[in-house]
Structure 1
Amino acid sequence: MVEFDYTEIVHRCFRCGYCKYPSDYSRINCPSYAKYKFESYFSGGRMWLIRAFLNEEISWSGHLGEIMYSCSTCRNCVENCVFKFSDQLVDVFIHARADMVENGLVPSKVADFFSNIAKFGNPWGEKKSKRLEWAEGKYYDKNEYLLYAGCVASYDSRAKKALKALKELMEMAEVDFGVMRDETCEGNEVRIMGEFGLFAEIARNNLQKFESEGVRKIITPDPHAFNAFRNYYPEFGAEFNVLHHTQLLYSLLRSKKLNLGKVNAKATYHDPCFLGRWNGLYEEPRKILKEIPGLIFVEMPRNRKNAFCCGGGSGNFYTDYLGGKDSPAKIRIKEAAETANLLVTSCPICLMMLEDAAKSENIDIEVKDIAEILLEVIKT
């Protein structure tokens, strides 16, 4: 694991507040600050709390732990901090959490998250046998691509529908792929939440499986898994290529392997943080939507690097520190409904969070994964 001394950085922040906003400073863009509206819940506040804890000016408390884990690591602060250490902001929070983990100072919800993944290979403690029910026996056998579903798409009923749509599209286009028989968590949230030891174990075990099966190319609909495979697994010797499903689907459209019918819809797109700000993939989803005949595509005011987070990242889809009234997902779904009648995303966590918010707020808007939209258009 790469060494990182965050204690040399925390004292440099003097809490100017630029990191709370998008690039045009139009409205609050930090999801945890948007919900709680206290200074301790934005990046500058967390930097000061970390410094105070290191200087023994404050003591550990469960509330401090919740503040640290309410950060969804969306990287809005990285985009908008005006200082030279901006690229390291999220790393500060991740490594501060790692010290919390090492010293046994994590909230019970976080401890349960780690425990479930260590024991069952998923955050909810679900049976491993349920993970591949969607795959219908399409197992990897020296195929060109391994389709890696991830935890949320495998277990959440709503996200699973989108996963099945992707599988059907790949079969239509005659993509040579299979699913690992014993797929387990890739560990992105485990690392982001600071359990470096467990993440290393997960990564090494997965790499051993991939190497023994001869995996060279991976496709995943999960930006969080995409991030782990692309940015963290190389530390452990990974040499495979990884594609997000929007990259594959756009390639299939360009090569005429998927033929689109016409649709009548006004759609907008929600950028997943781990696809956009973490990995710079903004254009493929938009290019796909603009290829669909009859679809009117309209951007939300906050888009691309200024997109507002759904609040599910960094394990918050499980811990729910950003849930309830004024949740980021509820704020975002209202913004989407003011823009279009169809909200498209390309992340199982975002899909789950945003559809739940639409139902909770009784907002009349469809929320779909981009694979579902393509499949519907092809079938019309």
Structure 2
Amino acid sequence: MEHEEILHRCFRCGFCKLPSDYGSFTCPAYLKYRFESFSPGGRMWLTRAWLSGQVQTDARLQEIFFSCATCGSCVEHCIFDKFRESILEAFIAAKAEMVDQGTVPPPVRDYLTRLLDHNNPYKISQKKRGDWAAELGVKPYTADTEVLFYVGDVGSFDHRGMEIARSVAGLLQKLGVSFGILGPAEGSDGNDARALGEFALFEHLAKRNIEAFQQAGVEKIVTLSPHGYNAFKNIYPQWSGHFSVRHYTHLLAEILPADKRLYKAASRSVRRVTFHDPCYLGRHNKEFDTARSILDRLPDIERVEMPRNRADSLCCGGGGGNFFTDLVCSGPDTSAAARVEEAADTGAQVLVTACPICTVMLEDAVKARNLEQRLEVRELSELVAEALG
């Protein structure tokens, strides 16, 4: 197994599941299950025992391996600089071993099968991939278009995700950006398939997208989701997928006016907001300031920080395919539930994020925690659209 050589170097000090102040926990799987076997250190030891034959594959071991949300907090907080960067890749490699053996939890199997059969996890026809934009007059990407707006699976097919896709597309139209979409020619970015260890499927999806991008003459890509941004920026170049890739917040930060007088006040009173860092923008790509700089331009907003923020941010639990497999997303002790409680405790009225998966996860957690009267979840583009009138 790749990265097998680092497994023996972990002695389970436990720092990997803690934030910098050691005051709470940041590992979604550990928060839900509260067994050391679900922590990064426990998973390292179990992987080593499994590879040596001391532990056999069973449903519980599969659950432990695939509950990892690939949030990257363990990499951020491991105290061993010489191998910390390989920890998450070792966990993904262990999943890949299980995938190759055909021993994966049924929800993971079903998710990967849907991706292979339908090019999306919703089992919806590719012909409908551009339907979210039908009422906006968004044009197909052509050689004369400057930017490809890549929407992804959640933005194309999830009800809430489609609302966010329309919000971002409306902003790009209002701001005069020359952009288009591929519609039915767009495919799943594959980021979460790779996080689940299905390397062959990821390569298949990546090469299909790269071919579609190149045939359309795409040079610049703006993504709706941080997951797609991560895949295109960091992994697609392995197959000559070299494009200028930005998340939509990067583009907004460039072209939105800095003068607050140019915006429309969204309410009569100042709203207190707090920002949730999506893992694939934050820890994976070190993008902590762009979204905050946009929030700071909007009128009548007071921004406050949660105790766990930036590199210490608590994952919503939806990464690593868990948004679709639900191995750490349900029950009373989820990271999303802890996150919305943390946001409410700051006194914030609005919890803002810049990821469709995070938005859905956090909105569901607000409802589960009965916090609707105290806290509203908004996607960043929606606040910007309000401020622009």
Q: TM-score range by the shorter chain?
A: over 0.9
Displacement of 1:102 in angstroms is: 1.1
Say which SS state the counterpart of residue 256 (structure 2) adopts: helix
1:294 is aligned to 2:331: no
Deviations 1:177-199 (A, max 9, x none): 00003211010001111111111
Distance 2:61 2:246 in 1: 37
1:367 is aligned to 2:377: yes
Distance 1:292 1:50 in 2: 48
Percent identity, aligned pairs only? 44
CA root-mean-square deviation: 1.5
Query: Residue in 2 aligned with 1:332?
Result: 339
Alignment of 1:210-229 (within 5 A): 210-229=213-232
Displacement of 1:24 in angstroms is: 1.1
Alignment of 1:309-328 (within 5 A): 309-322=315-328, 323-328=330-335
TM-score (norm 1): 0.96
Query: Residue in 2 aligned with 1:124?
Result: 122
**Residues 333 and 357 of structure 1 are in contact (CA less than 8 Å); yes or no, is this contact kept in structure 2?**
yes
Query: Residue in 1 aligned with 2:64?
Result: 67
- Please list every run of 5 or more consecutive structure 2 residues that lacks an aligned counterpart in the other structure: none
Out of 38, 41, 46, the residue aligned to residue 44 of structure 1 is 41
1:350 is aligned to 2:367: no
Say which SS state the counterpart of residue 238 (structure 1) adopts: coil
Out of 176, 181, 192, the residue aligned to residue 178 of structure 2 is 176
Distance 1:229 1:22 in 2: 29
**Residues 118 and 198 of structure 1 are in contact (CA less than 8 Å); yes or no, is this contact kept in structure 2?**
yes
Whichever residue aligns with residue 271 of structure 2, its letter is A
Say which SS state the counterpart of residue 286 (structure 2) adopts: coil
Whichever residue aligns with residue 385 of structure 2, its letter is L
Distance 1:265 1:342 in 2: 7
Deviations 1:65-88 (A, max 9, x none): 111111101011001101121111
Say which SS state the counterpart of residue 162 (structure 1) adopts: helix
1:17 is aligned to 2:14: yes
Distance 1:28 1:139 in 2: 45
**Residues 258 and 297 of structure 2 are in contact (CA less than 8 Å); yes or no, is this contact kept in structure 1?**
no
Out of 247, 271, 274, the residue aligned to residue 268 of structure 1 is 274
Say which SS state the counterpart of residue 229 (structure 2) adopts: helix
Distance 2:316 2:26 in 1: 11
1:157 is aligned to 2:159: yes
Distance 1:255 1:229 in 2: 29
**Residues 135 and 179 of structure 1 are in contact (CA less than 8 Å); yes or no, is this contact kept in structure 2?**
no
1:138 is aligned to 2:139: yes
1:206 is aligned to 2:204: no
**Residues 146 and 217 of structure 1 are in contact (CA less than 8 Å); yes or no, is this contact kept in structure 2?**
yes
**Residues 15 and 45 of structure 1 are in contact (CA less than 8 Å); yes or no, is this contact kept in structure 2?**
yes
The size of the alignment, in residue pairs, is 376
Distance 2:129 2:341 in 1: 33
Whichever residue aligns with residue 387 of structure 2, its letter is V
Whichever residue aligns with residue 14 of structure 2, its letter is G
Displacement of 1:314 in angstroms is: 0.4
Distance 1:220 1:280 in 2: 17
1:284 is aligned to 2:286: no
Distance 1:299 1:368 in 2: 16
Large movers: runs of 4+ above 3 Å: none
Deviations 1:194-241 (A, max 9, x none): 111111111111111111110000001200000000000000001210
**Residues 158 and 352 of structure 1 are in contact (CA less than 8 Å); yes or no, is this contact kept in structure 2?**
yes
Whichever residue aligns with residue 318 of structure 2, its letter is G
Distance 1:138 1:352 in 2: 27
Displacement of 1:148 in angstroms is: 0.3
Whichever residue aligns with residue 114 of structure 1, its letter is L
**Residues 253 and 259 of structure 1 are in contact (CA less than 8 Å); yes or no, is this contact kept in structure 2?**
no
Whichever residue aligns with residue 164 of structure 1, its letter is R
Distance 2:196 2:244 in 1: 25
Displacement of 1:131 in angstroms is: 2.0
Alignment of 1:225-236 (within 5 A): 225-236=228-239
Distance 2:27 2:276 in 1: 16
Whichever residue aligns with residue 334 of structure 2, its letter is S
**Residues 78 and 87 of structure 1 are in contact (CA less than 8 Å); yes or no, is this contact kept in structure 2?**
yes
Distance 1:122 1:255 in 2: 38
Say which SS state the counterpart of residue 139 (structure 1) adopts: coil
Query: Residue in 2 aligned with 1:378?
Result: 388
Query: Residue in 2 aligned with 1:148?
Result: 150
**Residues 150 and 184 of structure 1 are in contact (CA less than 8 Å); yes or no, is this contact kept in structure 2?**
yes
Say which SS state the counterpart of residue 291 (structure 1) adopts: coil
Displacement of 1:262 in angstroms is: 2.1
Distance 2:353 2:165 in 1: 13
Whichever residue aligns with residue 60 of structure 2, its letter is H
